Chain A
Amino acid sequence: MTKRLEEKFGGAFLIAAALFFVVIMPSLNAFTSPDSALHISGFTLNLFGKFLAYAILALGLDLVWGYTGILSLGHGVFFGLGAYCMGMYLSLAIGAEGVYKSALPDFLVWNQVKELPLFWKPFYSFPFTLLAVVTVPALFAAGFGYLTFRTRIRGVYFAIITQALALSVWLVFNRNEMNLGGTNGLTGFKKILGLELNSAATQRGLYIATAIVLCGAYLLCRWIVSSRAGRILLAIRDAENRVLYSGYTPSNYKLFVFTVSAALAGVAGALYAPQVGIITPGRIGVLPSIEMVIWVAVGGRGTLIGAIVGAITVNWARSYLTSSFPDYWLYFQGGMFILVVHFMPDGIVGLVRRLPEFAKKLMSKRNRSGPSPSGDPSAAGD
């Protein structure tokens, strides 16, 4: 029943949602007067820009965790790599307008570095930066994945190793000797592509870019999971040994999906940095990486839409609660996670999907019209 409803209205719903985020939200920001009830403030739009960037990451994480069953507790690293690449471009774009009026970013002057480190130089170029935000995290993930998947490290062991990765990368980025701003990270950005970064129009443009990239990321993930390779991902999740004995090399599939996922995380980070205006090692570490997993769990793992819903819902709740009850957010997040794991294993999306079933049960109880027919045994696709 639910399946048929989804088939009928799923596509229309997705198109409506895409239109809402890409066209309607920014229009309500640009073309309505601030007094109007329909007006969306620059602040809110910017907030959603951040949420949608997180949603891009959540999609990739869901591919890895929800579909393939590989729990990664280190996706903050790939997010951070993308964000830092963009941050380096934005830092260089400040030019000599920083506090010290030097062509070098302020923190380098403060660190008494006389010349721009070599690895910074390519980030003067915006096209290079765009390339880097995808390839740097992807290559890093491919290298890391090659070493771990080849050696058949699985399950909890893999999760622990990714956590160790997050911790060590966090430590490295905290060091001033890295010339990446240490604990304070990269900030003080002023311009992007010659435009004033803080102007309402630029921020709106960044929001729209994020919404469009999210749509693209969704289509990419959808294409992957509905291909035959997508079935293999599910098969690996359900019975990896069977896949192996059927003549597949599961480690290649894992490597592929992990790399795609890291690239999406990197793109998310690159969209995050100019909208939030700062990237610090705090976004890379163990804790943010775990939070990312919670987004996917809350939204519903193993469904693409769930990843998006989770990232937006949790972060929305977070920004509401941290401004209203700053002390309680962590408890709330922990409580929410436990609640989801115990009572809604399929997350919000799973709950919504079961609503018609609940309604039917309720109705049949009321009518006392004998036993209700059991569920449709045919498989539910995504």
Chain B
Amino acid sequence: MANTILFMEDVSVTFDGFKALNKLNFSVDYGELRCVIGPNGAGKTTLLDVVTGKIRPDSGSVIFKETTHLDRMQQEEIANAGIGRKFQTPTIYENLTVRDNLELSAKQDKTVKAMLFGGITGPVSAKVNETLGIIGLEAKQSWRAGLLAHGEKQWLEIGMVVVQDPDLLLVDEPVAGMTESETQNTADLLKRIAEERSVLVIEHDMNFVHEIAKRVTVLHEGAVICEGSIDYVHADEQVIELYLGRG
């Protein structure tokens, strides 16, 4: 446990009697890039909802960096504690510029008072410039974000989470709806981001998972059924039957 940034034990979530998470045990190490796969409705998004405080688990504990109990915190507190989340569908501020999107997301004093009276500080500006480079949107920084292509919106949102400088980054299905070359770029982007922090990626696209993951966790009916290297998971009978076999 000393080496885990995220530790979940016996976590259960029930929706109207339906167990979306069923005594889930799951953990992510510091500096790791982990993929979670599983069929539709396996509970993947629910897992992220629990970690980010959107859903309170019925039971179990969710611990961040050994001592922080996430299951007792507000969503914005969890964000400020160092967990960033990229949503399943691109969620950006369409009517602000690309640059504004990043500047607002960066780590800074986020009270009404500070935002009303304060300007942008040098470090924030530098961080935004750096992130614009990482996501490859430097040339479009003064565009209205709503005008970006789908893939670019996904990258912008990833950038918005990265600029927050989280220690753990959660990414829900980043390449859904992307072209092949966009998918490749996204894989490179995530690998680069993972050099400095822990990243948890949820994804359906097996080629993509192959490309980025060292360790893969397979979720089914709210519990982990298999975990290991991509090849190990690929070879697992139950996994083949449940998920991979279906194409």
Contacts and interface: CB of A to CB of B under 8 A. Distances in A.
Given A235-B96, A253-B112, A245 B143 contact: no
A316 interface: no
Contacts of B164: 246-247
A35 B174 CA distance: 73
Contacts of A232: 104, 115
Nearest to B106: A246
B52 to A, nearest CB: 7
Contact of B100 (A227, A231, A237, A246): A231
Contacts of A378: 97, 142-144
Nearest to B86: A245
Contacts of B131: none
Contact of B76 (A224, A247, A380): A247
A302 to B, nearest CB: 8
Contact of A247 (B93, B110, B147, B157): B110
A228 B52 contact: no
Contact of B94 (A238, A244, A247, A256): A238
B160 A246 contact: yes
A224 B113 CA distance: 11
B52 A245 contact: yes
Interface in B78-132: 79-80, 84-85, 87, 91-97, 100, 103-105, 107, 110-112, 115-120
Do most interface residues of chain A lie in helix, strand or loop, or is the interface mixed? Answer: helix
Interface residues of B, number: 36
Contacts of B75: 244-245
B79 A242 contact: no
Contacts of B157: 242
A370 to B, nearest CB: 23
A234 B115 contact: no
Contacts of A237: 95
B119 A228 contact: yes
B119 A244 contact: no
A237 B104 CA distance: 14
Contact of A379 (B84, B96, B116): B96
B79 A377 contact: no
A238 B104 CA distance: 13
Interface in B53-96: 75-76, 79-80, 84-85, 87, 91-96
A227 B96 contact: no
Given A238-B93, A242-B91, A249 B76 contact: yes
Nearest to A240: B91
A229 B112 contact: yes
Given A238-B93, A242-B91, A245-B52, A377 B143 contact: yes
Contacts of A246: 79, 104-105, 110, 160, 164
A137 B193 CA distance: 49
Chain B contact residues, majority secondary structure = mixed
Given A248-B76, A378-B142, A379-B142, A239 B91 contact: yes
Contact of B93 (A228, A242, A245, A253): A242
Interface string A132-160: 00000000000000000000000000000
Interface in A348-382: 377-380
A44 interface: no
Nearest to A252: B112
Interface string B139-166: 0001110010000000001001000100
Contacts of B160: 242, 246
A164 B87 CA distance: 34
Residue of A232, A238, A242 with most chain B CB atoms under a 10 A cut-off:
A242
Given A228-B118, A379-B142, A245 B104 contact: no
B96 to A, nearest CB: 6
B79 A241 contact: no
A51 to B, nearest CB: 29
Contact of A227 (B92, B95, B116): B116
Contacts of A245: 52, 75-76, 79, 84-85, 87
B114 to A, nearest CB: 8
A231 B104 contact: yes
B150 to A, nearest CB: 16
B116 A248 contact: no
Contacts of A252: 111-112
A183 B85 CA distance: 54
Given A239-B93, A244-B75, A380-B144, 13 more contacts: A228-B103, A228-B118, A229-B116, A231-B93, A231-B104, A238-B95, A245-B84, A248-B76, A252-B112, A379-B96, A379-B97, A379-B143, A379-B144
21 contacts: A228-B104, A228-B119, A228-B120, A229-B115, A229-B116, A231-B100, A231-B104, A232-B104, A234-B93, A238-B92, A238-B93, A239-B92, A239-B93, A245-B85, A247-B76, A247-B164, A252-B111, A256-B112, A377-B143, A378-B142, A379-B142
Question: Across chains A and B, which 3 residue pairs bring their CB atoms closest together, nearest first?
Answer: A379-B144, A247-B79, A229-B115
Interface of A: 224, 227-229, 231-232, 234-235, 237-239, 241-242, 244-249, 252-253, 256, 377-380
